[in-house]
């Protein structure tokens, strides 16, 4: 019997053999949906085992976590030790790191957990090595550092990206703007706010049939591809995670070579060994995490700028702020007085649902 990995290979071959045109669009759509389903099967324990990250995940601390993904010996552990002061064994041989090693960085008053991970190899997503467990840990991080050795071919970048993709991780990408509502009856109803230049009706039909979806409202609000539609149907298995490419070992290249590296989007050239350009890496990390520092100002006193309450952008209302300090505050909450970017008037009185911005100053007024 052929394994899931074999089946995936077969479909990929078949797709490569099939020319893309109107006549083949139903067939191609069907293949894509089959492929997505097989890949999911591969990642759930019943369909081949190894998912879930058992034995590799660690207790999460801090307001956000950053996972380090890369081939062996690119310098992940050297970077962790440098950033966090936590020692993670580094050596010139491959697979020095065998498990997750957590460390912590305090940046702009925010505690951020860093997770050094074992190296992965090409084919990790198909079950080679412990790559699946490693990537499963990264899938639960708020940010991923893809660590690359600049002395190695840059094609490594593509390989790692496709490993993460195959695991349902979408890097530096927003979820496709497609509203998908499954229904009990009523058939398929498709609307779009703009022309769909990448999609054939047959392709959509094939995918829906493959997923046994007979009734649904689908509203396209972007010029989506069939992969976007599949991502929306497979929503539960997708994670949209920002990535920074940490281009390590720049101490071994020339200035001219370094200039070329600066053209790669979302990347920071660094030397973990020499500690070069680490400030830039942390600054980009801060930007990608999109955290908000909110300062408390006790009534009639100066704000406390030493210890911000750090909130994630998705959870940054006054209510989230109160909860982050102590749940009981909500019981006696009357209103909040806010100074900063989130308000028009300085200061302004707001309620629990008000969304705070980075560096706002807040006074809670109690009943
Ligand atoms: N020249 C140079 N060497 C580095 C740099 N960073 C790490 N190294 C060296 O690269 C080798 C591998 O470093 P590690 O930190 O063990 O790499 P790793 O990615 O954690 O490796 P695994 O745990 O085996 O996957 C060691 O010999 C390090 O001294 C760097 O910035 N420049
Ligand atoms: K190593
Ligand atoms: Mg290591």
The 3-class secondary structure across 50-87, one letter per residue, is CCCCCCCCCCCCCCEEEEEECCCCCCHHHHHHHHHCCC
How many angstroms separate the alpha carbon of residue 92 from the centre of ligand 3? 10
* Atom from ligand 1 closest to the CA of residue 81: 15
| Residue 129, ligand 1, Cβ within 6 A | no
CATH code for 291-366?
3.10.20.30
Kindly list the distances between the CA atom of residue 207 and the CA atoms of 109, 133, 156, 212, 227, in Å, as whole numbers in the listed order: 47, 29, 32, 9, 10
CB of 249 within 6 A of ligand 1: the answer is yes
Within 215-280, strands assigned E span 216-220, 239-241, 243-248, 267-269
Secondary structure E strands in 150-251 = 169-171, 178-182, 188-192, 216-220, 239-241, 243-248
- Give the whole-angstrom CA distance, residue 356 versus residue 307: 17
Which residues, chain by chain, have CB under 5 Å from ion ligand 3? 76-77, 96-97
Low-confidence spans in the chain with pLDDT less than 70? 1, 44-55
- 57 within ligand 1 shell (Cβ under 6 A): no
Considering every ligand atom shown, identify the ligand nearest to the alpha carbon of residue 130 and give its number: 1
For helices 25-43 and 4-17, the axis angle rounded to 10 degrees is 160
User: For the chain, what are the domain ranges?
Assistant: 4-49+176-237, 64-172+240-289, 291-366
DSSP state of 341: T
Q: CB of 130 closer than 6 A to ligand 1?
A: no
- For 64-172+240-289, CATH number out of 3.40.140.10, 3.40.50.300, 3.40.50.620, 3.40.1390.40 equals 3.40.50.300
Ligand 1, pocket-test mutation among 68, 70, 72, 75, most atoms within 8 A of CB:
75
Question: Could you tell me the pTM of the whole model?
Answer: 0.91
Whose Cα sits closest to atom 11 in ligand 1?
Answer: 92
Ligand 1 pocket test, candidate residues 67, 78, 249, most atoms within 8 A of CB: 78
As a dihedral over the C-alpha atoms of residue 114, residue 117, residue 119, residue 122, rounded to 10 degrees, the angle is -90
Q: How many CB atoms lie within 10 A of CB 238?
A: 21
Instruction: Give backbone dihedrals phi and psi of 310, rounded to 5 degrees, phi first.
Output: -100, 125
Dist. CA 263–CA 255, nearest whole Å: 13
319 three-class SS: helix
- Report CA 175 to chain centroid distance, whole Å: 11
Q: Is 72 in the pocket of ligand 1 (CB under 6 A)?
A: yes
Closest residue by Cα to atom 7, ligand 1, is: 75
CA of 76 to the centre of ligand 1 (A): 7
- Burial of 85 (C-beta count, 10 Å sphere; 0-12/13-18/19+): exposed
Strand segments, DSSP code E, in 270-347 are 291-296, 309-312, 333-339
β 267-269/243-248 pair status: parallel
**ipTM passes above 0.95:** yes
Residues 80/103, Cβ–Cβ less than 8 Å: yes
Residue 251 Cβ contacting ligand 1 at under 6 Å: yes
List CB-based neighbours of ion ligand 2 within 5 Å. 73, 96
**Per DSSP, what are the bridge partners of residue 148?**
247
- Which residue's CA is minimally distant from atom 13 of ligand 1? 75
Distance 97 CA to ligand 2 centre (A): 7
Residues 6 or more apart whose CB falls under 8 angstroms from that of 181 comprise: 216, 217, 218
Answer yes or no: is the C-beta of 81 below 6 A from any ligand 1 atom. Answer: no
pLDDT at site 49: 40
pLDDT in tens, 139-153: 999 999 999 999 999
User: Which ligand 1 atom minimizes the distance to the CA of 71?
Assistant: 25
Q: In whole angstroms, what is the distance from residue 4 CA to residue 39 CA?
A: 8
Residue having the nearest C-alpha atom to atom 8 of ligand 1: 75
- Please name which of 126, 112, 119 lies closest in space to residue 84, comparing C-alpha atoms: 112
For residue 119, which of 140, 139, 101 has the smallest C-alpha distance?
Answer: 101
Instruction: Give yes or no for a contact between 362 and 356, defined as CB atoms under 8 angstroms apart.
Output: yes
167 CA distance to ligand 2 centroid (A)? 24
Q: What region, left, alpha or beta, does residue 312 occupy, with left being phi > 0 and alpha being psi -120 to 50 degrees?
A: beta
């Amino acid at each position: 019997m052929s394994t899931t990995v074999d089946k995936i290979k077969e479909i990929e071959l078949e797709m490569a053999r099939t020319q893309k045109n109107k006549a083949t669009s139903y067939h191609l759509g069907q293949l894509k949906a089959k492929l997505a389903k097989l890949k999911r099967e591969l990642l759930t324990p019943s369909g081949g085992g190894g998912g879930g990250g058992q034995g590799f995940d660690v207790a999460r601390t801090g307001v956000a976590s950053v996972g380090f993904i890369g081939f062996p010996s690119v310098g992940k552990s050297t970077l962790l030790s440098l950033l966090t002061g936590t020692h993670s064994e580094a050596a010139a041989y491959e697979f020095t790191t065998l498990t997750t090693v957590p460390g912590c960085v305090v940046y702009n008053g925010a505690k951020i957990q860093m997770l050094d991970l074992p190296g992965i190899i090409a084919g990790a997503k198909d079950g080679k090595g412990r790559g699946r467990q490693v990537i499963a840990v990264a899938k639960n991080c708020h940010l991923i550092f893809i660590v690359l050795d600049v002395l190695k071919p840059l094609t490594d970048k593509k390989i790692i990206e496709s490993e993460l993709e195959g695991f349902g991780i979408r890097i530096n990408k927003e979820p496709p703007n497609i509203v998908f509502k499954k229904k009990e009856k009523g058939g398929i109803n498709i609307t779009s706010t703009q022309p769909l230049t990448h999609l054939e009706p047959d392709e959509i039909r094939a995918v829906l049939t493959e997923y046994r979806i007979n009734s649904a409202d689908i509203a396209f609000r972007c010029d989506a591809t069939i992969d976007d539609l599949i991502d929306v149907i497979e929503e539960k298995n997708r994670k949209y995670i920002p990535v920074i490419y940490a281009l390590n070992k720049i101490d071994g290249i020339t200035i001219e070579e370094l200039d070329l590296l600066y053209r790669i989007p979302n990347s920071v050239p660094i030397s973990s060994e020499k500690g070069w350009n680490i400030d830039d890496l942390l600054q980009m990390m801060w930007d990608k995490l999109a955290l908000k520092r909110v300062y408390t100002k006790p009534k009639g006193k100066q704000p406390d700028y030493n210890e911000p309450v750090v909130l994630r952008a998705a959870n940054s209302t006054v209510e989230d702020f109160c909860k982050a300090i102590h749940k009981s505050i909500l019981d006696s909450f009357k209103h909040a007085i806010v100074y900063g970017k989130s308000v028009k008037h300085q200061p302004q009185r707001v309620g629990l649902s008000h969304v705070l911005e980075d560096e706002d100053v807040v006074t809670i007024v109690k009943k």
